[in-house]
Structure 1
């Protein structure tokens, strides 16, 4: 049985508590500068956010955010910055939508096929950056940014009438996926919860198990901590870099599935963009932990939902964006401050133990003499 470590528990609680207090203080100051009452703003957000329709909206909104955060976190654990999740999920959703709209198969066949195609396309698109990094030394940040632009341009070329899209008013979109291939919903009042919530839960569980409970996950984290040490222990660094990028892209391919299979049922010019960049913020907010990222995704959805209500109360519409940025910065800074404090505390404890042992040896030497 592990010994209870009081100092470790205090540090674990202190970091999020410090971040919460700092975020509230800074946000209150920003709202106060605009001439508005910050406490009334918090009351409005809380009152509107706990309504049943808001809760369903927040959960549905958090699903793709969580998937994007997991995709980013896989790279972070490997010390890689996959900034291309946005392009990966968009090109994956587009290819999956084209396939889904072209086929009319039973749902139990077509839905897994759509998911597999999305994951495969995302994995290939991200794997390009991994191969370029290991074979040519090109930074994954540069390549994934460029691949974002290539993905957007590719989609723009094919998403035209007469190519792979049809015109619907002012919009262009791929042919609709048949009703038999729509993902199920979870009945709730007043609106249903998207069934792709199950997909997010399974993805989070797989992320936790593979990275935290397997030899592969240990090797991946070891390479992220120290490539030279991992290489000396027999781990192929190049293989782990490519594999982690492929896995990150594979999960990124699922980011567009909640929208495609539960809402739009096609890929059009109004398909959500920017979720990949939101995933970066949520991965930082959740400290790459599956539960932390889930809470971060829900918080992000809560802020977006309640921010619309603040506008009706004549608060500046930019307040929500400021809140989101402040929260992420406070979390990152607070955890770093607590980490450094904990490190100094450990160093002091080790120093005290060494000094105590040295005094004991001196006493023994005196007795022997």
Structure 2
């Protein structure tokens, strides 16, 4: 019970700190603090719930991609570039319709995961063989991926007459993933890709906690020295971890691609990779924790949209809240960790103290 309380106290402490700091920022700017929180914390409508779930799917995949690297003590900052180039690849493959129906969809998903894995694998190989920091290499690969996709998009794009927007060929209707209705009104549907998202979350938990590979990955992340002494190939594990992280990152843009946009264009949603890092930290790399973090960030994003109209406050205030959560969550976990260590030390000390004997036993 104590472990559970400590586990949930850290994120709750971070959220409380973010709430207080954001309120201070609002008050300093002269904005109505209570009205802002009343809007953000109000009950969303059914169509808003659908938007929250859709956004959470994308953020969840992004968080899992970052979490795989974190469990290996690797910082995959390149999820943003990996999902961009993977989504573009999936759009091109699906748009060409080389296979019929859902075989075409499956091929596009596999290609997206492969491209994401290869793009992340570059940083993994550089880290394993040359000692290059994956933080630096993945950030640079983000910039390269953005430029490369922009270049390839101009080559593979299909222009719409009377519009400046460009995009790949539209995915055939038979290869799209149908949305799932959660209500009878308009806009009350969620991406059908949710089935794959849940499956990915389960596989993440199963592989990391129930397989030898997952044990080796977690052991290497905790101590490379101990892992080497146990016979684990560190070089191989670094590369494999980055490949898996990149493969999951390759799925990030696919719910949008197969459930909404049906093509990759200049207006395709960006910036999804960096949010995943914060969500993975908030969720402590646990599949359930990452899901809760994704829902929280999606909820804040959706509820902040009408702030400008209803309250007269920029919705960017939510970015301050999310950024504060990222900063405070690290501090909160460290405070809780130290408190937990102190409790363990007290328990051990109490167990080592001999029980006082009865006077008769002492005289005997």
Q: Which range, TM-score by smaller chain? A: over 0.9
Structure 1 stretch displaced more, 53-62 or 148-157: 148-157
Name the SS of the counterpart of 2:251 in structure 1: coil
User: SS at 2:204's partner residue?
Assistant: helix
Provide the residue aligned with 2:179 in structure 1.
185
User: What is aligned with 1:213?
Assistant: 210
The answer to whether structure 1 residue 311 and structure 2 residue 311 are counterparts is no
Q: C-alpha separation between the residues in 1 aligned to 2:62 and 2:83?
A: 9
Q: Retained in 1: the 8 A contact 2:178–2:192?
A: yes
Find out whether 1:42 has 2:50 as its counterpart. Answer: no
Alignment of 1:247 onto 2:239: no
Alignment correspondent of 2:341? 343
Q: 1:10 aligns with which of 5, 30, 47?
A: 5
Please state how far the C-alpha of 1:151 moved relative to its aligned partner. 1.2
Task: Give the alignment of 1:319-334 within 5 angstroms.
Answer: 319-334=317-332
Change in 2 beyond 3 A, CA 1:103/1:14: closer
In structure 2, the partner of 1:57 is: 51
Most deviating of 111-120 and 14-23: 14-23
Deviation at 1:266, TM superposition (A): 1.0
RMSD: 2.0
> Normalization by structure 1: what TM-score?
0.91
Residue from 104, 110, 120 that aligns with 2:114: 120
Deviation at 1:267, TM superposition (A): 1.0
Alpha-carbon distance in 2 for matches of 1:63, 1:11 = 27
Please give the alpha-carbon distance, in whole angstroms, between the structure 1 residues aligned to 2:24 and 2:290: 27
CA 1:140–1:13: 2 relative to 1, 3 Å = closer
Structure 2 residue runs of 5 or longer lacking an equivalent are none
Bigger shift: residues 70-79 or 101-110: 101-110
**1:332-356: CA deviations, max 9, x gaps?**
2212111111112212322333343
Q: 1:64 to 1:9 in 2, by over 3 A?
A: closer
Moved more, 247-256 or 182-191: 182-191
Residue 152 of structure 1 and its aligned partner are, at CA, apart by 1.3
Distance 1:278 1:10, change over 3 A: closer
Q: Is the 8 A contact 1:104 1:178 kept in 2?
A: no
Alpha-carbon displacement from aligned partner over 1:112-160 (angstroms, at most 9, x marks no partner):
1110000011111111111111111111111111111221121121211
- Residue matched to 2:92: 98
Q: CA deviation at 1:367?
A: 8.2
Provide Cα deviations, 1:296-347, integer angstroms capped at 9, x if missing partner. Answer: 1111111111111111111133311111112222322212111111112212
CA distance in 2 between counterparts of 1:367 and 1:174 reads 92
2:171 paired with 1:174:
no
1:294 maps to which of 285, 291, 295 = 291
1:10–1:295 Cα change, 3 Å = closer
Alpha-carbon shift at residue 40 of structure 1 (Å): 2.1
- The alignment of Structure 1 onto Structure 2 pairs a total of residues equal to 356
Task: Tell me by how many angstroms 1:22 deviates.
Answer: 2.2
Partner of 1:77: 71
**Equivalent residues of 2:91, 2:264 under 8 A apart:** yes
Secondary structure (helix, strand or coil) at the match of 1:173 reads coil
Q: Which of 152, 156, 159 is matched with 1:158 structurally? A: 152
**Any conservation in 2 of the 1:45–1:309 contact (CA below 8 Å)?**
no
Quick one: distance in 2 between partners of 1:158 and 1:21? 45
Is the CA contact (8 Å cut-off) linking 2:44 and 2:303 kept in structure 1? no
Structure 1 gaps of 5+ residues are: 1-5
Distance 1:117 1:9 in 2: 40
> Is the contact made by 2:306 and 2:315 (CA closer than 8 Å) also made in structure 1?
no
- In structure 1, the partner of 2:142 is 148
